[in-house]
Amino acid sequence: DFFTTVEVTLEARQAGVQRYRFSLSRLADEASTANNTRDIFVEVLDARQKILLLAHAPHPDLAAIRRALEQRKNYEVEVAFADQPIDVAAYDFVVLHQLPSRKYPIQGLLAQMDARKTPRLFIVGAQTDLARFNEAQSLLTIRGNGGQVNDVTAWVQPDFDLFTWDERLAAELKVWPPLQAPFGEYGLGDAEVLLWQRIGKVDTQYPLWAFGEPGGVRTGVLAAEGLWRWRLFEYLQHQNHELTDGLLAKAVQYLSVKEDKRRFRVRVTKNIFDENERIVFDGELYNPSYELVNEPDVTLTVRDESGREYTWVMDKTEKAYRLDAGILPVGSYTFSARVQYSGEMLTATGRFSVQPVQLEAFATTADHALLRRLAEEYGGQLLYPDQIDEIPALLEQSGKVKPVAYASTRTRSLLHHKWLFFLILGLLSLEWFLRRYFGSY
């Protein structure tokens, strides 16, 4: 016997649940080939987000941010400059580094982003046009004085809860090098502040990093440039970028998360089921005010690989829908749900797969350790074939098996005893004959 591992790289050509079959050729003296073939199901997610780092000019911050985000496989990061033609509609999230500036007010790009509700992060620097910056967002206002800057470090708002942050951050920020923030007066709008400015040894109430959702668009403002200094210093101190990269990634993750705005949603409880599991669907229907409703009936159709269709009407729960479709054969399936609401036909689609359970085929030897644990757990004992003769003695020693006597009583009608019936009938007939013969009647 031998065991070997072979690494196989498969190209993810499309999103969804993909089915792969692995087969081994049969050996000449192989007794069983049931475990020579195995099907596996792999869910390929297309969760990548395209992120644009749009800058006034080249800057070390851009490389720091790009390296921090590119470590996350679900981010695809591109760098561009304001003097280039940009299609912001192609991106899920935009970082605006020292923009808008006097040279590049980017009013057209901002209008496109507003129309598409593209989430964004402003990084304010020496080239930022503060007047246009104040017009472009409402989280905070900065009224500067002649482009002057302050060297500022940071302190953490302890009860910030829009996303989690590493507890070590508060201590590290005290020794990290300063960033450069515009000198001036700061006004805070409807925003949650993660970091505040520390000038010298004074903890101020000037926001350094704030987050909000004006007009339903997630927006962040980092009111200073120089993130590259934090990343470089952390590496000099700890030989890693864990805190800096983690902070950037958490901020971008919060700002760029996609909110599901569909009014009709149907999903399976998971995308890959074992063949002995029941397939359960959950559905939600929202009115135009995004309130849950479930007055109309929802029709759900499941189609297998051969084109066969199964159709149900989903059950109504308190405010939603649910359907237990039972157990389905192994294979890949698609589903489509439809509902008519307020004169509009709404649809929801998806896919799932059912994979075989092949435990017996792949576990071809008895698991004696498991059998022993089961026996011990229930007060028993594991015996091998050559120990069968020991069973009577073990039963006597255990004291758990004792002889039991049972008494039972059965009652049957005389009619079931035919011989007794004919005996009585014969005696009565004999008595009648004798009385007639001797003249008793």
What's the pLDDT at 1?
54
Measure the CA angle with vertex 97, ends 247 and 244; round to 5°: 15
On the question of pLDDT at 382 being above 90, the answer is no
Q: Are strands 292-293 and 279-286 parallel, antiparallel or unpaired?
A: antiparallel
Task: Check residue 439 and give its pLDDT.
Answer: 72
For the ranges 103-107, 140-144, 180-184, 375-379, which has the lowest average pLDDT? 375-379
Q: Is 232 exposed, middle or buried (0-12, 13-18, 19+ CB in 10 A)?
A: middle
* Alpha-carbon span 318 to 306, nearest angstrom: 36
Query: pLDDT band at residue 244, thresholds of 50, 70 and 90?
Result: very high
Q: What is the pLDDT of residue 414?
A: 62
Question: Which residue carries 């980017």 as its tokens?
Answer: 106
- For residue 165, count other CB atoms closer than 10 A to its CB: 19
Cβ proximity of 47 and 74 under 8 Å:
yes
Q: Are strands 264-268 and 140-156 parallel, antiparallel or unpaired?
A: unpaired
- pLDDT in the model for residue 398: 74
Task: Report, as an integer, the average pLDDT of 302-311.
Answer: 94
Q: Is 250 left (phi over 0), alpha (psi -120 to 50) or beta?
A: alpha
**Dihedral of alpha carbons 313, 314, 317, 320, sign:** negative
Beta bridge partners of residue 316, listed in sequence order: 321
pLDDT band (50, 70, 90) for residue 144 = confident
Assess whether pLDDT exceeds 60 at residue 390.
yes
Q: Name 228's Cβ contacts closer than 8 Å, sequence gap at least 6.
A: 60, 61, 63, 64
Least confident of 122-126, 202-206, 210-214, 379-383: 379-383
pLDDT at residue 415 is higher than 90: no
Q: What is the DSSP string of 66-126?
A: HHHHHTSTTEEEEEEETTS---GGG-SEEEEES-SBSS---HHHHHHHHHHT--EEEE--T
Token pair 């489509």 is at which residue? Answer: 336
- Share the mean pLDDT of the chain: 88
Cα 279 from Cα 44, distance rounded (Å): 20
Establish whether the linkage from the previous residue to 178 is cis, with ω within 30° of 0.
Answer: no
Q: What is the pLDDT of residues 345-354, one digit of tens each?
A: 999 998 898 9
Pairing of strands 179-188, 140-156: antiparallel
Given this model, what pLDDT does residue 184 score?
92
Contact 57, 128 (CB under 8 A): no
Binned at pLDDT 50, 70 and 90, residue 9 comes out as confident
pLDDT the model gives residue 246: 93
Q: How confident is the model at residue 112 (pLDDT cuts 50, 70, 90)?
A: very high
Confidence of residue 364 (pLDDT cuts 50, 70, 90): low
Q: How confident is the model at residue 16 (pLDDT cuts 50, 70, 90)?
A: low
Residue 8, by phi and psi: left (phi above 0), alpha (psi -120 to 50) or beta? beta
Q: What is the pLDDT of residue 45?
A: 64
Domains located in the chain, CATH noted: 49-256 (3.40.50.880), 264-355 (2.60.40.1930), 365-398 (no CATH)
pLDDT tens, residue by residue, 23-47: 888 888 877 776 787 777 676 766 6
- Give me the mean pLDDT over the 370-374 stretch: 85
Taking only the tens place, the pLDDT of each residue in 59-77 is 999 999 999 999 888 899 9
Q: Which tokens in the block code for residue 48?
A: 């990548």
Q: How many other C-beta atoms lie within 10 A of the C-beta of residue 67?
A: 16
Tokens linked to 325: 């479709």
DSSP count for the chain of H helices, then E strands: 10, 21
Using CA atoms of 126, 155, 212, 166 in order, give the dihedral in degrees to the nearest 10: 120
Give the confidence band of 241 by pLDDT, cuts at 50, 70, 90.
very high
**CB contact at 8 A, 217 and 120:** yes
